[in-house]
Amino acid sequence: MTEKKVKLQSLSGMNDVLPKDQPFLKKIQKSIEGTTSYYNFQKIEVPVLEYAEVFSKAAGDTSDIVEKEMYSFRTKGGDLICLRPEFTPGVVRSYIEHGMHNLPQPVKVWASGPCFRHDRPQKGRYRQFFQASLEALGDKSPSIDGQIIQMSYDVLKDLGFKNISIQVNSIGDNECRPYFKKILVGYFKSKRGSLCHDCQRRLKENPLRILDCKEEKCQQVKAGAPQTVDHLCQLCHAHFKQVLEFLDELELPYVINPYLVRGLDYYTKTVFEISEKSEIGMVYGALASGGRYDGLVKLLGGRDTPACGVGIGISRIMELMMEKEMKTEKKPAEGPKIFLAQLGEMAKRKSMKLFEEFRDEKIPVAESFSKDSLRSQLSAANKMGVRWVLIFGQREALEGFITLRDMESGAQSEITLDKVVQEMKNKVKS
């Protein structure tokens, strides 16, 4: 009896990255590396294999990732482990295990590589895919949310995307979300017959997930549902208001989507998705998505630690770039030449805008937006060996100028905001 010949090919949803595709992958990786380096995020590598509990505790036992998508199995020793479906829980596990709470906060790290989800393969959605994850742990300031969104936008803009759309929402926290869930359950119970089978089950287990359902019949029901932003507690409302003020100051093209919730239990307060508005881009859905996860570190056994992050879909972006036949050349980024120090909320918002103006001119600038003490910021600049420090305080913000300090001589001078980028460009060149 002869053996049946089997045609060997890649598994369903597992794709090769061919040599002709590598320039696109390389360009995306360089853009992420350049952006993270500019914002002083450090690279971290976490294992492809983790205990399954790392993800089930983080995402929630009833999440699609845990119920349908994780590649999990028992080892010979009986441990239940899985291939990572995303990076954030593994990064948090590493943060706890290695005592990173003892480091200066926030700890800003990024990771990239393959992730795995046993999802139904379709265009722009594969079972093995490349992803990058940017995480800031140990800071509750809304400026961190704004910076993470700005960085995600910077990567896509740097790669040549033009019609970038940012959707943002707040889903509250453990103080206000239980009340909102009760209101939501009341609404969906009256529409139960119009929901898909999965959402009828979610109504009992986690009603927020109904807002994340992509089924057409559920989309119609969702359109009349209560909105999270109308039921935030005072602290969550204030946090979201400040995040939007940062996005306004940065002139980012965002819209509030009151039904955006993301499909994971660990998110709190800010959630967002970034996509390309072209007809092609809509096929791929979100190119970057994330939000704040203030309770995840404690949930996984660490201290109570606020945090915020984003996942950037490298595989989706790469395929979209190839379809659009986008260019792949890119120049390397330089190190920081100037330090931008700020004092006060108004100055902080305007500093973020000024920071982006320097970035547009390819002038490297270091910053510490999460710190309020001028002494600590000057100390950080001194350790970096930066000669020029731009000091932006409340008076400077109101009167439209900035104070320049020469760290070598200690001399100070004032520069109007409309001239500061050009003057610093000249100083760096000379």
CATH number at residue 163: 3.30.930.10
Question: 251 and 296: one domain?
Answer: yes
Q: How many domains does the chain have?
A: 2
Question: 411 and 387: one domain?
Answer: yes
Inter-residue contact 367 to 352 (CB < 8 Å): no
Question: 39 and 156: one domain?
Answer: yes
The low-confidence residues of the chain, meaning pLDDT below 70, are: 1-6, 61-68, 263, 278-284, 329-335
Q: Which helix (H) or strand (E) holds 357?
A: helix 345-360
The runs of H, that is alpha helices, within 72-208 are 88-97, 142-158, 177-189, 197-205
Last residue of a domain, one of 266, 300, 323: 323
Last residue of a domain, one of 323, 352, 372: 323
Question: 165 and 263: one domain?
Answer: yes
Residue 236 lies in a domain: yes
Last residue of a domain, one of 266, 298, 323: 323
Task: Supply the pLDDT for residue 69.
Answer: 82
Domain coverage including residue 281: 19-176+232-323
Residue 421 lies in a domain: yes
Question: 366 and 316: one domain?
Answer: no
Binding residues, as ranges, are 86-88, 117, 131, 135, 262, 266-267
Residue 201 lies in a domain: no
Using CA atoms in the order 364, 88, 254, 317, what is the torsion angle rounded to 10 degrees? 80
Structure tokens at 418: 């409309």
Q: Using CA atoms, how far apart are residues 399 and 121, in angstroms rounded to an integer?
A: 56
Residue 345 lies in a domain: yes
Question: 147 and 60: one domain?
Answer: yes
Question: 40 and 155: one domain?
Answer: yes
| Whole-prediction pTM | 0.83
Task: Supply the pLDDT for residue 283.
Answer: 46
Question: 149 and 240: one domain?
Answer: yes
Residue 212 lies in a domain: no
Residue 193 lies in a domain: no
Q: Using CA atoms, how far apart are residues 162 and 165, in angstroms rounded to an integer?
A: 9
Question: 253 and 310: one domain?
Answer: yes
Task: Supply the pLDDT for residue 278.
Answer: 67
Q: What number of residues does the chain have?
A: 430
- Helix, coil or strand: residue 36: helix
Question: 304 and 157: one domain?
Answer: yes
Binding residues for L-histidine, as ranges, are 86-88, 117, 131, 135, 262, 266-267
Q: Which long-range contacts (CB under 8 A, 24 or more apart) does 119-122 make?
A: 119/13, 119/68, 119/69, 121/12, 121/13
Residue 273 lies in a domain: yes
Question: 106 and 141: one domain?
Answer: yes
| Domain CATH number, residue 357 | 3.40.50.800
Residue 225 lies in a domain: no
CA 185 centroid distance within chain: 29
Task: Supply the pLDDT for residue 65.
Answer: 66
Question: 318 and 351: one domain?
Answer: no
